[in-house]
Structure 1
Amino acid sequence: MRFSSVLCRAFVLMAGLVVLGACAQPTPQAGPVEIAQARHVSSAPPSLTLVTSIRNADDSGAHSALIINGPERVVFNPAGSWRHPLAPERGDVHYGFTPGMENWFFNYHARITYRIKAQTLEVPPEVAAQALALAQQVGSVGPARCTLSIAGLLRQLPGFEDFPMTWRPRKAERAFDAYPGVVTRLYVDDSPDDWSDLDLEFND
């Protein structure tokens, strides 16, 4: 899928106005038709993926997001700065989260100053469906509450009742690691912090 270079430059400049991992102001909300058109259903097993942005300078946590592969595949990115024109947003849920969109999401967050840890755990279909419904109910999350909102969501799911309520991304990351069956991926990149390397072109 290809985009004009003008759109690419405009979007990257817009992304550069916000600080990676920082809390963004609410954006215009997508309507039902736009969301339905973007819907992506994955053939992969139902799962939850906790995504943690980690500062390379001091190993502290900067941001948390949750990829939900359920009745459809989305990313719950509470109070996050990431946007993409093909991933319409309602509340803090971004739809149309295809494999190509996921790669773009990781490329956006992984910088010379940040690395990304993605922890995936397969869950029963009903748990993934419940997670999606809960994320859709949350709405737009207030500043600095990314990890807290994800922790509150997880605690409502069967099997995650003991997940700690925390504001700290790395505490949530360690807690998620404790669940049997978690598969971890680490993304590192030496790209500059101004996002000048990004291109909206990707292949699914």
Structure 2
Amino acid sequence: MRATRRTVLLGLASLPLSGCGTNAEAVWASDEAVELARYRAPEAPLLALVTVRNEGTGKGAHSALLINASERVLFDPFGRWTDPAVPERNDVLYGFSPEVEARYLAYQAGGGYYYTRQEKPVLPEVAEQALTLAKARGPVGMAMCTVACADVLRPLPGFSSIGRPWFPEQLSARFAKLPGVTTVERRAGAI
């Protein structure tokens, strides 16, 4: 058992060195599209981790990070969801109003999957730092969504315990242990 786990961990550690992390596609919406879509929420600054999970196993399938700072965006590393009204720049989706978020989450809660949304209030400067880190991250390769979200969270004050997990359910469990986190879960067909 120990040898198998070591082999798996060594294999995962080599992923960035293999072709896995290189298949990211750069997407760059125009300045005009981003400016037209930009959404500034009246709510207090927050970070919300979205974890998509398999209905049958509960295992994580995807991680994304909602950032409510001077503007509200979703960092959706290697995400598949698109909306013509939501411009993207390298995995950062702009104009993420509550209505857009509802469409995104409805998409995630279907086809054998459900999501958890874990929200944590943060200071304005922490939210801005997260926004800056997400924008600077660049396009993320396949199977790297959780690592990319952790890379944005870990440098923030109060988030060092996040570490650098590889699996969505691990990041979700660590995020849940942070003070002040509230969690919502939605399965397909839930109102």
SS of residue paired to 1:162 = helix
CA distance in 2, matches of 1:134, 1:166: 18
How far 1:163 sits from its partner (Å)?
1.1
Query: Any idea what the Cα deviations from partners look like across 1:174-203, whole Å, max 9, x if unmatched?
Result: 000001111111111149xxxxxxxxxxxx
Gaps of 5+ in 2: 1-22
SS in 2 for 1:82: coil
Aligned twin of 1:49: 48
Q: Is contact 2:26–2:138 with CA below 8 Å preserved after alignment?
A: no
Q: How far apart are the structure 2 equivalents of 1:125 and 1:93?
A: 19
| Matched residue SS, 2:57 | coil
- For the residue of structure 1 that corresponds to 2:171, the secondary structure is helix
> Does the aligned pair in 1 maintain the 2:86–2:96 contact within 8 Å?
yes
Could you tell me how far 1:28 is from its partner in structure 2? 4.0
How big is the shift at 1:27?
A: 6.1
Does 2:185 align with 1:186? Answer: yes
1:132-185 CA deviation, whole Å, 9 max, x = no partner? 000000111011000001111111111112212011000000000001111111
How many angstroms apart in 2 are the aligned matches of 1:116 and 1:163? 19
Aligned amino acid, residue 97 of structure 2: T
Structure 2 counterpart of 1:170: 169
CA contact (8 A) 2:24 2:140 kept: no
Counterpart code for 1:165 = R
Equivalence map 1:18-33=2 (5 Å): 26=25, 28-33=27-32
TM-score (norm 2): 0.85
Q: How many residues align?
A: 168
Distance 1:64 1:25 in 2: 16
Q: CA deviation at 1:31?
A: 1.4
Aligned to 2:121: 122
For the residues of structure 2 that align with 1:128 and 1:44, how far apart are their CA atoms? Answer: 12
Q: Percent identity?
A: 40
The DSSP-based 3-state class of the residue aligned with 1:37 is helix
Deviation at 1:106, TM superposition (A): 0.4
AA aligned opposite 1:169: P
Q: What's the secondary structure of 1:150's corresponding residue?
A: helix
- The one-letter code sitting in structure 1 at the alignment partner of 2:108 is H
Q: Which residue identity does 1:149 align to in structure 2?
A: A
CA contact (8 A) 2:26 2:139 kept: no
Is 27-36 or 172-181 further displaced after alignment?
27-36
Instruction: Point out the structure with the larger helix share.
Output: 2
CA contact (8 A) 2:118 2:181 kept: yes
